[in-house]
Amino acid sequence: MLGVLLAGCSGAPQVHVINAAPTGAIFARRAAVRVRIPSTPATLDGDRILVRAAGSGLALLPGVALSERLPEAVAASVTETLRNAHIRASGERQSADVDYDLRLEIRDFAFDAKKQTVKVTIAVRIVALASGQAVASRTFSASGPVNAFDAMVIAAALDRAFRQVLIALPPFVAAAIS
């Protein structure tokens, strides 16, 4: 679950939570998957929302903090989404008997101020632990418009884009591990 804490006018933070995506389908599999903490560029490895400013400038969205570091929040949401689809999934620290590693790389999770859009891009590689070989890989990406430079609006747009990525994961994982 990806939580965003937003500083409100009264000084008390408002909480925006990005939950795992409901899948709408069941992909029961016997094989077990361990979801690794994603690798990410240093600019995204924190608890702040990145803003791509005009040119090549980068900034952090004012008044906003994630409830945990982005890589951990993404891994938890991916794990929960796979479980919701009845795929045996565990987090990196909870796994004991697994057949596959789900290796994630967060390539983008940001607001582009010039284009007024958000973009989420996550690369996924599934590795069979018995052989050490990659059995599947794919890059998932979603974007969406932002109609106001407002922390809650931007957080909600990132939520929608991230959910699009999450919804696409269970069928991909199920096909790769069956």
pLDDT computed for residue 19 by the predictor: 55
pLDDT computed for residue 26 by the predictor: 55
pLDDT computed for residue 30 by the predictor: 79
Pull the structure tokens for residue 87.
Answer: 């795929």
pLDDT computed for residue 61 by the predictor: 86
pLDDT computed for residue 152 by the predictor: 85
Pull the structure tokens for residue 23.
Answer: 């899948």
- pTM score of the predicted model: 0.85
Q: What percent of the chain has pLDDT over 90?
A: 62
| Mean pLDDT of all residues belonging to the chain | 85
Q: Average pLDDT for residues 60-73, to the nearest whole number?
A: 87
pLDDT in tens, 136-172: 999 999 999 999 988 889 989 999 999 999 999 999 9
Element (H, E) at 148: none
* Contact (CB, 8 A) for 117 and 137: no
Give the lowest-confidence range in 4-8, 132-136, 158-162: 4-8
pLDDT in tens, 89-119: 999 877 678 999 999 999 999 999 999 999 9
- Domain annotation for the chain: domains and CATH numbers: 2-177 (3.40.50.10610)
